[in-house]
A and B are shown apart, each in its own frame.
Chain A
């Protein structure tokens, strides 16, 4: 099973600041990595697929990078609605696995 480790667990930032979230895989997942956003009480939403492609309707302030084992999700300037939990997920191998999540909270 591929283990995804996200860091930090919590990121305390102010609106307008830049957020940098990390996801590290226990073995290479090539570019088969996605990022999801989950707001309180809501279902997850696909943000980034194949490591660096924004999903339909996702604002340009969200960007993804990386390949192999190290990946980054960047939010260039935090909007109030961006304070949420973010998960990475790999789909190169079964079982599909998710990272433990990074909570982006208001400082």
Chain B
């Protein structure tokens, strides 16, 4: 069974940093590219970042470019999102999602809540 488990969320002050992790199991992690998608409270879905299988291709939403860094460790079956210079508007549930061969997000974790507030 495919499982994605996020962790690392919490309360942080504006300007602070957090590192999110997503541990994958039930599939060969190194063969799949991955995305981070977020959802602000009561709002819709917003794509955040993408990383290819070997980390050679990385993309960011304009809203986070220059502040967030996506990475992965295939030996540890793990995906990461380093978030710096956090703003109030970064408050959201952050989901990691597996990108399948058709380019769609076929499996999602349950999310981790990041709250940016003073």
Q: Which of B63-113 contact A (CB under 8 A)?
A: 95, 97, 102-106, 108-111
Residues A34 and B59 in contact, CB atoms below 8 Å apart: no
Minimum CB–CB distance from A34 to chain B (whole Å) comes to 5
Residue numbers in A under 8 Å from B108 (CB-CB): 43-45
Q: Looking at chain A, what size class is its interface with the partner chain?
A: 20 to 34
Is there a chain B Cβ closer than 8 Å to A84's Cβ? Answer: no
Which B residue's beta carbon lies closest to that of A50? B102
Count residues of B near A (Cβ-Cβ below 8 Å).
21
Is there a chain B Cβ closer than 8 Å to A87's Cβ? Answer: yes
Minimum CB–CB distance from A87 to chain B (whole Å) comes to 6
Residue numbers in A under 8 Å from B104 (CB-CB): 34, 46, 49-50, 55, 89, 91
Minimum CB–CB distance from A33 to chain B (whole Å) comes to 9
Minimum CB–CB distance from A37 to chain B (whole Å) comes to 11
Residue numbers in A under 8 Å from B105 (CB-CB): 34, 36, 44, 46, 89
Minimum CB–CB distance from A23 to chain B (whole Å) comes to 13
Residue numbers in B under 8 Å from A38 (CB-CB): 45
Is there a chain A Cβ closer than 8 Å to B61's Cβ? Answer: yes
Minimum CB–CB distance from A60 to chain B (whole Å) comes to 19
Minimum CB–CB distance from A106 to chain B (whole Å) comes to 19
Residue numbers in A under 8 Å from B111 (CB-CB): 43
Interface residues of A (CB under 8 A from B): 1, 32, 34, 36, 38, 42-46, 49-50, 53, 55-56, 87, 89, 91, 94-101
Interface residues of B (CB under 8 A from A): 35, 37, 44-47, 50, 59, 61-62, 95, 97, 102-106, 108-111
